Structure 1
Amino acid sequence: MTEKQLHNSLFATRISKAQIDILVGQLEKEPALAEVLFQYVLQEDKEGTFNASWTFDHLMRKQLHYLLPFMETFTNGLSQLQSESCIRPIAHVCEMVCEAYFKKKDPIFLKTVTNNQLEKIMTACFDWLIGPMNIAPKVFAMSSLYYLGFKFDWVHPELKQVLEDNYPNGTSGYRNRAKKTLDKLARLGV
């Protein structure tokens, strides 16, 4: 697959889940196109479409390490995102990065991802958690922030406060995840 073929696949029309799966299969053979795909995510965020972000999320589910060569570009791009259609899948990628780093303790993530990059993920996740998002980005942000609190000690108390403040007005899905997160924090003594 070439960059032009990727562009044509993403921008010809809205693509289905089956087409995403085929595209991801092709992209798995072309790791260098992962960064190009992320640039399309940033582009489509401004245009209000989401083929690239959906595809990016699915590619990262299979080959998260493809993100590492352009991790700085990825984390710098988080603050640029405005469209919830793009934020949702990217918030999921942030959660996967945090799980690889903190839960799985994947050596390549521990070696490659910097504290500065984790801080950028943390900032974006707090913005998504307190912003006017639907439930999915908030759920991914809660998980990411829970993990990030193991490196940045002020995060757990702040996360707890945000969840407690927003719990009464949250949707049932928000309250469910918030309760689980608050229970985990309580077990840590937060």
Structure 2
Amino acid sequence: MSSDLQSKLDYVNAYRENRLKTAQEILENKSLFEELVSICFLTSDKNNHKACWILEFVCYEELIWLQPHLDFFCKNLKYLKEESSLRPIAKVVQLLVKSHYKKGENSIVLSEDNLQYCIESSFDWLINDCKVATKAYSIRTLFVLGNYYDWIHPELKIILDKDYADHSAAYKAVAREVLKKIK
């Protein structure tokens, strides 16, 4: 039997307004959030990529809602393979990492295991055949993490230098920006 959230996701399409409308419904009904997170990682679900789209928008407003789900979220990052799921989740990972190191009120607290999963997934997305937006979010996430893990910036620099010539202008722009900051 299809849940209320599943029914909503059936009608979501790629139009921004449509995704924002569904995200707003989640923001107005927090009880749907846990199911949304679950569907994001249910790769056999036909709507899992749509759930990822919605999660990204919800996290812009209420990132803190992910706090009780971080172990599940981070542990399952490696199972996502579809590009339409990866891009929004890579963005959420970037938001989580930035929030963790911001250390303010309502900031996210990632465990060492959570951080390791974020590092591993970000490097995987960067070196594998993902689209440029996923790679760009990964580069920026790894840059932030490299300020706290001294081995990350040298590894990131090697990858960016090696792959630079083979990528699009958008990739090169992000790579240049981050390489400048690393040096």
Q: Same fold (TM over 0.5)?
A: yes
Q: Deviations over 1:81-103 (max 9, x none)?
A: 0101100000000011111122x
| Partner Cα distance (1:166, 1:178) in 2 | 9
Partner of 2:173: 176
Q: 1:37 touches 1:52 (CA, 8 Å); kept in 2?
A: yes
- Partner AA of 2:162 in structure 1: D
Partner of 2:115: 118
Partner of 1:92: 91
- Partner AA of 2:126 in structure 1: L
| Partner Cα distance (1:114, 1:49) in 2 | 26
| Partner Cα distance (1:172, 1:105) in 2 | 34
| Partner Cα distance (1:82, 1:46) in 2 | 13
Report how far residue 151 of structure 1 moved.
2.0
Q: 1:46 touches 1:83 (CA, 8 Å); kept in 2?
A: no
Q: 2:9 touches 2:47 (CA, 8 Å); kept in 1?
A: no
| Partner Cα distance (1:49, 1:96) in 2 | 20
Partner of 1:105: 103
Q: 1:71 touches 1:117 (CA, 8 Å); kept in 2?
A: yes
Gaps of 5+ in 2: none
- Partner AA of 1:119 in structure 2: Q
Secondary structure at 1:178's aligned position in 2? helix
Q: Deviations over 1:94-146 (max 9, x none)?
A: 011111122x3335546x31111011000000000001011000000001000
Task: Quickly say closer, same or farther: Cα 1:13–1:99, change in 2 above 3 A.
Answer: closer
1:37-76 aligned at under 5 Å gives the runs: 37-44=36-43, 47=46, 50-76=49-75
Gaps of 5+ in 1: none
Is the deviation greater in 9-18 or in 169-178? Answer: 9-18
User: RMSD of the alignment, in Å?
Assistant: 2.0
Report how far residue 31 of structure 1 moved.
2.7
| Partner Cα distance (1:19, 1:13) in 2 | 6
Partner of 1:166: 163
Aligned-residue identity in percent? 25
Task: Quickly say closer, same or farther: Cα 1:45–1:118, change in 2 above 3 A.
Answer: farther
- Partner AA of 2:115 in structure 1: L
Task: Provide TM-score, normalisation by structure 2.
Answer: 0.91
| Partner Cα distance (1:85, 1:115) in 2 | 28
Is the deviation greater in 70-79 or in 33-42? Answer: 33-42
